């Protein structure tokens, strides 16, 4: 799959994915104006235009990347890991995603709802399973 930011300064190449996941945490909603629709791409991703990627340390365990030219949100990444979770909107051509799961479901505001029935996890369940490193 190939994706890019709004201005094209940063592009992503990764293996084919058909699933996206949703995060309803307050930080993702504040960062993007709504839930983060994310594609977990693991280690097989290449980012071109790294000189345009700015990284914001958003917590003790994670960072978020964005394009310094157009501001497009690019990824969420656990510190010390080389596994990227890219925003689904980067991949416009040929992306035929299916919603796989939703996390921080107890933090989702009442003003939106998805029709898809997916596995869900609360904040407590996410931290119990994955815990901050």
Greater confidence (80 vs 49) lies with 49
C-alpha angle 85/30/91, rounded to 5°? 35
Mean pLDDT, residues 58-82: 93
Number of domains in the chain: 1
> Looking at residue 116, which CATH number applies to its domain?
2.170.150.70
Q: Which domain holds residue 103?
A: 2-129
Residues 6+ apart with CB under 8 A from 9: 49, 52, 67, 69, 70
pLDDT digits (tens, 9 = 90+) for 6-59: 999 999 999 989 999 999 999 999 999 999 999 998 788 999 999 999 999 999
Mean pLDDT, residues 91-104: 89
pTM: 0.90
Q: Are 40 and 55 in contact (CB under 8 A)?
A: no
Res. 133: pLDDT tops 60? no
Query: For 125, phi and psi rounded to 5 degrees?
Result: -70, -40
> Where residue 94 falls among pLDDT bands split at 50, 70, 90?
low
């Amino acid at each position: 799959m190939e994706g890019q930011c709004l201005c094209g300064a940063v592009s992503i190449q990764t293996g084919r994915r058909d699933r996206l996941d949703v995060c309803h945490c307050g930080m993702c909603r504040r960062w993007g104006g709504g839930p983060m629709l994310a594609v977990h791409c693991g280690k097989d991703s290449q980012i071109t235009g790294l000189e345009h990627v700015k990284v914001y340390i958003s917590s003790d365990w994670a960072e978020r990347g964005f394009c310094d030219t157009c501001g497009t949100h690019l990824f969420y990444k656990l510190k010390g890991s080389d596994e990227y979770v890219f925003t689904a909107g980067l991949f416009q051509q040929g992306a035929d995603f299916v919603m796989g799961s939703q996390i921080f479901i107890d933090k989702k505001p009442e003003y939106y709802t998805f029709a898809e029935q997916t596995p869900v996890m609360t904040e407590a369940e996410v931290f119990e399973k994955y815990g901050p490193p």
